[in-house]
Homo-oligomer: A and B are copies of this chain.
Amino acid sequence: MAGTGLWLIGARGSVSTTAVSGLLALRAGLAPPTGCVTERPEFADVPLPRWDELVVGGHDVVSTPLEKTAAHLAASGVLPGHLLGLIGSDLRAVDAEIRDGYHPVSHHGSQAEAAERMVADIVGFRERHGLDRVVVVNVSSTEPPVPFVPEHDDLAALESAMADASRSVLPPSSVSAYAALRAGCPFVDFTPSTGIALPVLERLAKDLGIPFAGRDGKTGETLLRTVLAPMFTARALRVRSWAGTNLLGGGDGATLHDPSRAASKLESKARGLAALLGHDVTAPLHIDNVPDLGEQKTAWDHVSFEGFLGARMTLQFTWTGLDSSLAAPLVLDLARLAAAAHADGQSGALGALAVFFKDPLGSDEHRFAEQTRELYRWAGELAR
């Protein structure tokens, strides 16, 4: 490939800054690709863009320079301190490719106008850099769920509503998804926001021959749940309750402490657990904002289960992760994989990428091992 664009919605956030910093480090040979799934042997023959073929730009509603966010991430243990000096000028170059994002509060005019400008931003970026294609990845803050309206299932009605400056028929993530499609770009939703997950947009993607993937990157507690739950099932052990608590700081903690936004996340987590176990369980789940934890996220899960002759047993785990460190390499992986799918002519939901998501689009499979196998199978086909 001559060049592939990675256009990040929320380009100045922690996940994005980590992904960009890491990409620059990988390209310069300053770090090994730890955490990058697409660097595993199973992908050796898949025609993926190389690290030095990826060019980054994006939208964001804030204007903090990447370098400043990177310094903050270094203080939090996400980025190694010595890296900052080495990639500073490259970060500034990426900064120059970031355009103002869409936010209903600050935007004047209709959503159609907003989308049009975003399309122009993306197309301009693609042409300026002579890129074969651009993958749009949403890594912006989680939005609250939105109520379904008829326009979400009818393209003409949607576009007419978007043209009405007095309405905000789409949440911002879906405006981005729409703009990506209209720019002819694959779209990946790494957040639990609505994004492309509206019937009208999924259909539009299919009609335009564009692939998409999502949603809600699987990086911590849910990752473990989709690994552990199949064990109980395979061993015919009966899970009686599965309680979870998540402590998180950073912007994510503040966002998800807002119950309406947490709702998106909690719903997507609960759907998965019942699907994995094949039955409902008592599953209280909390997300707490604990600012002093910074970028760190700590999850505690308590699983109570029943074995032979009713014997009662428990499993507890504590996961202490750096969310941005876990998410960033997957964002790069998804950009590469979505680009390869696009090059291959695939369109619609890429169910084979389910392993990356808490709430996979195009797949009902939640079991991590089965999802991994499906990813490898799909990659193997691309490699032919």
* A367 and B373 alpha carbons, distance in the complex (Å): 13
How many of chain A's residues touch chain B, expressed as a range?
Answer: 35 or more
Residues of A near any B CB (own CB < 8 A): 18, 21-22, 25, 31, 33-37, 39-40, 75, 77-81, 83, 223-224, 227-228, 230-231, 234-238, 240-241, 243, 245, 247, 282, 284, 286, 288-293, 298, 300, 302, 304, 306-322, 325-326, 328-329, 355, 367-370, 372
Q: Select from chain B the residue with minimum beta-carbon distance to A356.
A: B235
Residues of chain B within 8 A (CB-CB) of A312 are 77
With A36-B236, A308-B35, A329-B307 already in contact, the answer to whether A316 and B313 are too (CB < 8 A) is no
The answer to whether A231 touches B223, judged by C-beta atoms less than 8 angstroms apart, is yes
Residues of chain B within 8 A (CB-CB) of A368 are 231, 234, 369
With A236-B36, A300-B245 already in contact, the answer to whether A25 and B309 are too (CB < 8 A) is yes
With A35-B308, A37-B235, A228-B227 already in contact, the answer to whether A316 and B317 are too (CB < 8 A) is yes
Query: Which of A31, A288, A318 has the most CB atoms of chain B within a 10 A radius of its CB?
Result: A288
The answer to whether B309 touches A320, judged by C-beta atoms less than 8 angstroms apart, is no
Residues of chain B within 8 A (CB-CB) of A21 are 309
* A284 and B300 alpha carbons, distance in the complex (Å): 14
* A234 and B371 alpha carbons, distance in the complex (Å): 11
With A290-B243, A313-B321, A318-B315 already in contact, the answer to whether A329 and B231 are too (CB < 8 A) is no
The answer to whether B236 touches A307, judged by C-beta atoms less than 8 angstroms apart, is no
The answer to whether B304 touches A293, judged by C-beta atoms less than 8 angstroms apart, is yes
* A223 and B369 alpha carbons, distance in the complex (Å): 15
- 29 A-B residue contacts at CB 8 Å? A21-B309, A31-B309, A34-B309, A34-B310, A35-B235, A35-B307, A75-B81, A80-B310, A81-B81, A223-B235, A234-B355, A236-B329, A241-B247, A241-B290, A284-B286, A284-B288, A284-B290, A298-B302, A298-B314, A308-B329, A313-B320, A313-B321, A315-B318, A315-B319, A316-B318, A317-B317, A317-B318, A318-B318, A367-B369
* A322 and B227 alpha carbons, distance in the complex (Å): 22
Task: Kindly provide the distance from the CB of A266 to the nearest chain B CB, expressed in whole angstroms.
Answer: 13
The answer to whether A325 touches B302, judged by C-beta atoms less than 8 angstroms apart, is no
* A62 and B310 alpha carbons, distance in the complex (Å): 28
Residues of chain B within 8 A (CB-CB) of A230 are 227, 369, 372
The answer to whether A300 touches B302, judged by C-beta atoms less than 8 angstroms apart, is yes
Task: Kindly provide the distance from the CB of A308 to the nearest chain B CB, expressed in whole angstroms.
Answer: 4
With A282-B291, A284-B290, A318-B318 already in contact, the answer to whether A83 and B309 are too (CB < 8 A) is yes
The answer to whether A309 touches B236, judged by C-beta atoms less than 8 angstroms apart, is no
Task: Kindly provide the distance from the CB of A262 to the nearest chain B CB, expressed in whole angstroms.
Answer: 12
The answer to whether B304 touches A325, judged by C-beta atoms less than 8 angstroms apart, is no
* A277 and B105 alpha carbons, distance in the complex (Å): 41
* A320 and B313 alpha carbons, distance in the complex (Å): 6
